[in-house]
Structure 1
């Protein structure tokens, strides 16, 4: 068996508090945190997105945590072993952990949670290799795999693997609509749900019987939903809001930099791996012609978007894997801004200009709620593509549901879109490119991209335990996909956390605020 060093979770938590920040990190206080996406459920076993994953990581404990160097750390599992053949992972659970209703957390709960996530989570590749979970005793769970699963330790992280009480959720009612997803939630984590006003705010209170003694430090966390970034910044400036994660509005970030009461960090988003892209409907003419996709991609000035529209806060994306990920490769097909080449490609595709100078009329949709990452880039497409004879109508979505419906029904020409990788390409990247994942759902392979070689490479990378060999597979994947250009990668999402200087130990692990806020505190 391959054994990992056993580390005390308490010691790990204590080590995180060093230097000046630890000196005035006192117990007590109420942290008020903002979010831009309203919470509709607290059960992150069956739902994704920051609106569920951030509060879910506070309410539910996961088997493992991860530090800022991508290393797994003990949490609900005090130690674990990966078998030599990589076909099983044995979790040794803490014996002092209880749910918020006082009942002990056992291996039966872990097994129930893992199978529930496998069968219900929208990231259907995340736990697909899991076959069964054995429970030889109340504090040991053995995850049996159909084949090696190199992403398994990341899939056991806080935003992705909440441990649910089987005695609550295993009552036979549908898990996705279970009443305990939003009311009388029985969690396993450091905070318990005290109040929930949908669309407005939720209140979390410290769970005094949490298994890590002395944690969390805060008495409570209030998470408020703000309709726009301007409002949240005003609340930060007024001192009514202490922290706003997942912030990427350029003007407000620039303004916050000049405020001596506020601080900004880009740490805590390494595993998020967010990329903005322009999605092509590959099954719809003329986007089924690679020359058209190449032409549009050559007409997009990514450097202008990153440096001018985003004031240098974002970074040009080069392909399907974020540059912060170990599997990233720069050896890809690059599409330099070149209008002459773009026009030549359109001519070759038979899309010649009419008397009015127009070759083609198309629509461009965008993911709502992200002013700089989505709306402004979609609006940029109108003058940018006009230069090569493409007339663009930007269709503003009424809300997320209406945009998601268009994507699910494949009722679009091109659309701005974005997705998170969530720790490993198996979890968050494969879903966009696998031909087997063309489904009537948002955040799947909505480009309707099909390449058998890509399917082969991703299938091999999904089960290759050797990190170096896996990197080779992903390098070829990135090279093949960027040559096919089923979508046009624009920028890496420039997320930041803006916070009051009273806040101590702002989460900067690879999961950021989508991990348990055990050490976060407020200074006087």
Structure 2
């Protein structure tokens, strides 16, 4: 996703993560751009209101239904249309949203949420505890087919409900109109963070019954902006929710997300002032201009360290990738340093593991797989392929020039050890369906944290309960790892839990279902007249607090 950087040494951009609290939440500090040369005078609160934020997304979202969203493109829109009980702030701390307060029992099993009494859906209906119960039950309902049903599978009675043995989930209860009680079968350390995910957003039962399967095209939530229009592959339009429960928010009248797939086109639109923000795929040829500390973009450029890892995965149930030695051989054959330092020109760090820096449990001493063609050839020979793999295999990726260049580099590396791969590119919606269904051999993917806990990487992406759309795109299964992951997510925060996750990561790396390539960093351009735009280590926040200087409204 990120493009080549020129003259990186000339730029001093530092971003740090520090641990906040006992729950392992991370503080993500986004480097601020330089002050404008002609800094605007102080703007009154009144003058912050109005205007349209002209934004961009790089693909048509597969869905706008929170129950089905599993990608960052969908999430960018969903988080502005919907709210959950809680949400993340800029420091990745949990703060109130629809729930104004909460408490948890001493044994960590019972969570009680007190709801605000002034929250309305965009159709005008008031939100009550019954809406929360409906939303969470819907996520668990097999009829919904949500790939994120696992979020609430630890709730008491969830299994019986999913198996059709009970009509409701006993662990989800409305004790009055504005109080929700959730009982878990066992402690789940990151449960509160899970509730901040877009999938746990509160949805309108009336709207779902009205639109049926078309709810994903006509979302109705409680968020700061209401859905207005979606012209596929062209634009999505949202307008201000005048009845939003936070007084005086949002500032903007509208959000307009133009769908622009290529970074070159998006950058041209940004330069012309037609969009106000661009990230990730700033064109290579423009990076020297972007990074010039005295240049035209000096007031607009930021660099954000992300809780994310870019990788190539294997479908480990397909031959010959069901052979661990073949997978390890490919790991040794891929030159991650060249990809990071040449193709990405030093903006990103080569990955030596699954967990990225800043994530609790990240192990800087994990060895990983250094580039070693002789070792790769030796492992192939031990696997029974002394002359390389017979035939040609598919390496698939979603359409983007950055992914293409990296895939071509991997293709060239594998050819050196006798493995021929054919590159297959497709649009994001088609691609994610292909990966979800396991119709892959080698595939490009990335994961940026939904919540700042190792569970979100290791359990979601490698537990056998999460095959396919659940996150385990490699269809990796190791019963011992499953048991260790189940144990870790129920442990109290602390060093023992961290050490267990580090042992899990080490064992998964030895099994080699992935080729981790690099840890994410996002280059970002934001127009200087845009204020309060925040991208965290996970993703950008909603536009609730964003405002434009009066002359740009």
TM-score interval, normalised by the smaller of the two chains: 0.7 to 0.9
Aligned counterparts of 2:400 and 2:458: Cα–Cα separation in 1 = 20
**So what's the TM-score if we normalise by structure 1?**
0.86
Per the alignment, do residues 245 and 142 of structure 1 end up closer, same or farther by CA in structure 2, a change over 3 Å counting? farther
- The equivalent residue for 2:344 is 310
- The equivalent residue for 2:194 is 155
Per the alignment, do residues 38 and 22 of structure 1 end up closer, same or farther by CA in structure 2, a change over 3 Å counting? farther
Deviation at 1:322, TM superposition (A): 2.2
Aligned counterparts of 1:68 and 1:370: Cα–Cα separation in 2 = 29
For the pair 1:480 / 2:507, whether they are aligned, the reply is yes
- The equivalent residue for 2:26 is none
Residue number among 259, 273, 276 corresponding to 1:239 in the alignment:
273
Per the alignment, do residues 45 and 264 of structure 1 end up closer, same or farther by CA in structure 2, a change over 3 Å counting? farther
Per the alignment, do residues 443 and 251 of structure 1 end up closer, same or farther by CA in structure 2, a change over 3 Å counting? farther
- The equivalent residue for 2:425 is 397
Residue number among 51, 67, 73 corresponding to 1:51 in the alignment:
73
Deviation at 1:281, TM superposition (A): 3.0
- The equivalent residue for 1:116 is 138
Deviation at 1:76, TM superposition (A): 1.5
For the pair 1:371 / 2:401, whether they are aligned, the reply is yes
- The equivalent residue for 1:209 is 243
Which deviates further from its counterpart, 257-266 or 196-205?
Answer: 257-266
For the pair 1:281 / 2:315, whether they are aligned, the reply is yes
Aligned length: 490
Aligned counterparts of 1:350 and 1:420: Cα–Cα separation in 2 = 36
Residue number among 452, 468, 482 corresponding to 2:495 in the alignment:
468
The answer as to whether partners of 2:396 and 2:440 remain within 8 angstroms in 1 is: no
- The equivalent residue for 1:125 is 150
Residue number among 325, 343, 353 corresponding to 1:291 in the alignment:
325
For the pair 1:384 / 2:413, whether they are aligned, the reply is yes
- The equivalent residue for 1:505 is 532
Deviation at 1:455, TM superposition (A): 0.6
- The equivalent residue for 1:260 is 296
Aligned counterparts of 1:505 and 1:98: Cα–Cα separation in 2 = 25
Per the alignment, do residues 408 and 105 of structure 1 end up closer, same or farther by CA in structure 2, a change over 3 Å counting? closer
SS state at 2:50 partner:
coil
Deviation at 1:141, TM superposition (A): 0.8
The answer as to whether partners of 1:321 and 1:425 remain within 8 angstroms in 2 is: yes
Which deviates further from its counterpart, 142-151 or 250-259?
Answer: 250-259
SS state at 2:543 partner:
coil
Aligned counterparts of 2:71 and 2:473: Cα–Cα separation in 1 = 18
Per the alignment, do residues 98 and 21 of structure 1 end up closer, same or farther by CA in structure 2, a change over 3 Å counting? farther
Deviation at 1:299, TM superposition (A): 1.2
- The equivalent residue for 1:522 is 548
The answer as to whether partners of 2:224 and 2:249 remain within 8 angstroms in 1 is: yes
Per the alignment, do residues 410 and 260 of structure 1 end up closer, same or farther by CA in structure 2, a change over 3 Å counting? same
Deviations 1:350-401 (A, max 9, x none): 3223xxxx554432322213432x32222112221222232x2323234345
SS state at 1:396 partner:
strand
Deviations 1:118-152 (A, max 9, x none): 34431343222123221111111111112112121
The answer as to whether partners of 2:148 and 2:199 remain within 8 angstroms in 1 is: no
- The equivalent residue for 2:361 is 327
Deviation at 1:476, TM superposition (A): 1.0
Aligned counterparts of 2:266 and 2:344: Cα–Cα separation in 1 = 19
The answer as to whether partners of 1:40 and 1:182 remain within 8 angstroms in 2 is: no
For the pair 1:166 / 2:205, whether they are aligned, the reply is yes
Deviation at 1:72, TM superposition (A): 0.8
Aligned counterparts of 2:151 and 2:494: Cα–Cα separation in 1 = 18
| 1:19-98 to 2 correspondences below 5 Å | 23-24=42-43, 26-98=48-120
Aligned counterparts of 2:40 and 2:118: Cα–Cα separation in 1 = 29
Per the alignment, do residues 123 and 218 of structure 1 end up closer, same or farther by CA in structure 2, a change over 3 Å counting? same
Deviation at 1:334, TM superposition (A): 1.7
Deviations 1:209-238 (A, max 9, x none): 111111111111111100211111000000
Aligned counterparts of 1:519 and 1:371: Cα–Cα separation in 2 = 33
**So what's the TM-score if we normalise by structure 2?**
0.82
Residue number among 210, 217, 221 corresponding to 1:182 in the alignment:
217
